[in-house]
Structure 1
Amino acid sequence: MEAKFVNCEGVQEELMDWLAGTLPPARRQTLEAHLAECPGCQQELAAVQRLWTTMGQLPVPEPSEQLRPTFYAMLADFQTAEQRRQRWSVARILERIRAWWQPAYGLRLAYSVALLVVGLVAGYGLKGRPDTTGMGAGQPVAAAEPAAAGPEAQPTQEVLALLSNPSAVQRLRAVSYAEEVAPTNERVVAALLSTLNQDPNVNVRLASLEVLAGLSHDPVVRQGLVRSLPRQDSPLVQSALADVMVRLQERRSVRPLRKLLQQDNLNEQVKDKIEQSIETLSGDQAPPPSTSSTNHETRTLT
């Protein structure tokens, strides 16, 4: 072992391990003996110690609030692309062709075509009937239709449709889209609150909670978050909700938080988190600065 420290280069290669305390005892004694007699290595050690101290004082960057929604959106895009690639692979196409040649599918196809033909014939016959409502001969009867939805309704309908999708990946994508639509849309806010309380996937509920926490300036959202506390059975969601209540300094959550403590088989770490949250919210500490955006409009659900 000592042969490695015959020259200064071998000693200097081990300085970081010596500072970290990972050198074996024999190698550490050999290195320390060399350092006691070598001024050059002593200077190198002083430089390495300064670097070590500076690196230890560097602040640890905190993740952005949008990290989870952005990750889920990227995951959804990746899985969608992967599904599309698999769907149009050669093997997949051949498998579908073989399936369509089975007798059962052939009968279904024939039945569907027959229904389509009957529908077209019936529609053509109804189109030629005279008007019997007094609107004038030769004019078709106009059925009452709802007013066409404006272009702003399309993102809302897309988000609501994706939130009811059986795929958790698609629901995560919907939550990511809802972050842009929710600040000006009461229906999307209500859907996010329902997702937080009822979605079977914990990741979808956590993503919904993060979006709703960014809308905490809305009194409806704050009240919905408080009411959501006793409905949660996931330790992850319970802990995350407790953190949000402390961040918002929402003292109305103290009572539902205490009810959570009465649940059977409550996770011990979650129990400690809730007790700390109750202590903070019950004290007289000044509320921390709000982290929510200030450019959203405040609205109230009726």
Structure 2
Amino acid sequence: MYEWSTYNEALVNQIKGWLAEDVGSGDISTEATIPAGSTSVAVIHAKEDGIIAGLPVAGLVFQVVDPALTFKALVQEGEHISRGTVIAEVEGSTHSLLTGERLALNLMQRLSGIATKTRSFVDRVGELPTRLVDTRKTTPGHRMLEKYAVRVGGGANHRYGLYDAVMIKDNHIKGAGGITAAVSAARKRIPHTMKIEVETESMAQIGETLAAGADIIMLDNMAPGDMANAVKHIRAQAPHVIIEASGGVSLDTVRAIAETGVDVISVGALTYSFHSLDISLDLGSKKGAAE
């Protein structure tokens, strides 16, 4: 689940682009100060508690920089780590280590921050069967990795993009001329394997969505009491329909929302409002220059 193949061409190409952005024509600071043949061992360590995510990605960064570097993870992906924990060791060319350092750390810090925030929501839901998922509110160019970090934190993924599920939101409803028209038009266009989700804000919209035959009903920005009543109504009318809650979900409200009986809670904040985990790389023993 947490492994990234070195043959993942899309990720490798992204890493090459990010390195090109950072390194440009060369790492002038390293080249100006450190002998070309110097080799070192570096340790990556946590400066605060959290869930670690991105170890395979960091390893891939160093491999792209220099295939001769060796990256050794010392903790498990998805493990809760404490401040001071040594996460990984990297050994090889000092130039290569320092050239790849910032990109590897940037990615690990962001992914670990997302995983840590996700885990806090998952823990708050606790034993309840409600599934916690992300949204498309991701950083452009980082969606694959950010959704991966949500999974590492114990959450699950919503649709990946605009192409893999039909989600009829308020503007679609306005543009189509109503929920019934929107669902009918979508059903004629999509394959039988694809589901249709409709965003609703009232019992009237829920009733129309049920009559239209949607597969998933999103309860958007409803108070927990209203949501609980909506869930009971939907279950009585169409027990097969998946019920999703969304809109303004926080750590303070997620448990009460889950207790209404919804199947899924989507939380955009997992990937757009998180604290990057503080992670650092320090050079250890310098092994000397090559002969």
**Same fold, judged at TM 0.5 (above):** no
> Which structure has more strand as a fraction of its residues?
2
Q: TM-score, normalised by structure 2?
A: 0.27
Q: TM-score, normalised by structure 1?
A: 0.26
Q: Using CA pairs below 8 Å that are at least 6 residues apart, which structure has the higher relative contact order? A: 2
